[in-house]
Amino acid sequence: MRQILVLFWRNGIIQMWPKMKKGHGIPISLMEEIKSVTREYFHQPYEEKIKIKLSAATGYRGYQRFRENITKGIPDMQEAIDFYREVELGMYGHLGEVMQGSNLWPSNPSKFKQLMEHYIDLCTDVSRKIMRGIGLALGGSADEMEGEIAGDPFWVLRTIGYPASSILDEHDKADNVVGWISHSPALIIGNHENLFSCISGLLTLLNQDDDIFALQVRNKSDEWISAPPVPGTFVCNIGDMLKILSNGIYESTLHRVINNTPRYRICVAYFYEPNFDAAVEPLDVCSQKTGGTKSFEGAVYGKHLVSKVINNFVMRD
């Protein structure tokens, strides 16, 4: 675990190797199957995919086509299905109302739901273990971030497809940037504003296509570096809530996707989040390590999520 955290610190990302001493424990065959059912779903005609259309009525769960996800008024070049931990009527009072709803599962491929639910459980377990390691690495206890912070974690799963650059028109291809993703839109550079901000709570586990180099992260020297796919591994990004908890010791990583290849790219992103109603603020152990003051204001996770969700989607009939 210490080895993993050193990588975290240097690059803002970690790559979890299945063959490390203990491994991440998620079978490589399952990781592959997850991408393969995702690809199968996206390869269907639009009329099939739209049967599970994302809408406010389902708490923003469901399918969104290319250009439906919006950042600062600019559409993204990706299609996706969003799944959130289900929120029942009245579960979090007024705060939870926007996210109330059940997931919309595709009927084809038929094993999609069962596979994804199993995968979500495994990702939740691995993420909890990483958070325990981070608690220790920060000088706190292993359960520093459990209980009221993430003892009952929320999660998000987003299955994403990025078009091959060959199907885009010249306008879309400006700068050869197909999809931009950032945790902090204010820091985006360049003149192509085809970008969006992701959910980004504590950790993101990215299960990306093995043979397409498209994901990049911004390092501490402000350079974009490739986060190459390594078969059987996850790229793990740090989210905004962990940045706050660690009082900035961990940076939430800027990242973007440029699929400048002739092939359609799949990525399945699992987001491990705090409790929906968690009031997140710098941990004492972290503020003591960083000069004794809290560098960030607190945030209620559910509010942060709702504001991202309602600002990110345009609904078109």
Ligand X SMILES: O=C(O)CCC(=O)C(=O)O
Residue 127 binds which entry of Fe ion, ligand X, none, with Cβ cut-offs from 5 to 8 Å by kind? Answer: none
Question: Is 254 among the residues that bind ligand X (CB under 6 A)?
Answer: no
Task: Produce one character per residue of 218-237: b if its CB has 16 or more CB atoms within 10 Å, e if not.
Answer: bbeeeeeeebebeebbbbbb
In whole angstroms, give the CA distance from residue 224 to residue 9: 16
3-state secondary structure labels for all residues of 233-245: CEEEEECHHHHHH
Nearer to ligand X, 41 or 144 (CB): 41
Which residue in the set 34, 215, 245, 249 belongs to the binding site for ligand X (CB under 6 A)? 215
**Cβ nearer to ligand X, comparing 142 with 225:** 225
208 near ligand X, judged by CB under 6 A: yes
Query: Which residue, 81 or 198, has its beta carbon nearer to ligand X?
Result: 198
Amino acid at position 268, single letter: V
Q: Does 181 bind Fe ion (CB under 5 A)?
A: yes
User: How far is CA 283 from each of CA 67, 79, 295, rounded to the nearest angstrom?
Assistant: 38, 37, 11
Residues touching ligand X, count (CB under 6 A): 12
Radius of gyration of the chain (CA): 19
Task: Looking at residues 196 to 235 of the shown chain, list those that interact with Fe ion (rule: CB under 5 A).
Answer: 198
- Dihedral of CA atoms 184, 1, 278, 203 in degrees, nearest 10, equals 30
Binder of ligand X out of 157, 160, 241, 283 (CB under 6 A)? 160
CB of 239 to ligand X, least distance (A): 9
CB of 239 to Fe ion, least distance (A): 8
> Does 158 engage in binding with ligand X (CB under 6 A)?
yes
- The residue ranges that bind Fe ion (CB under 5 A) are 181, 198
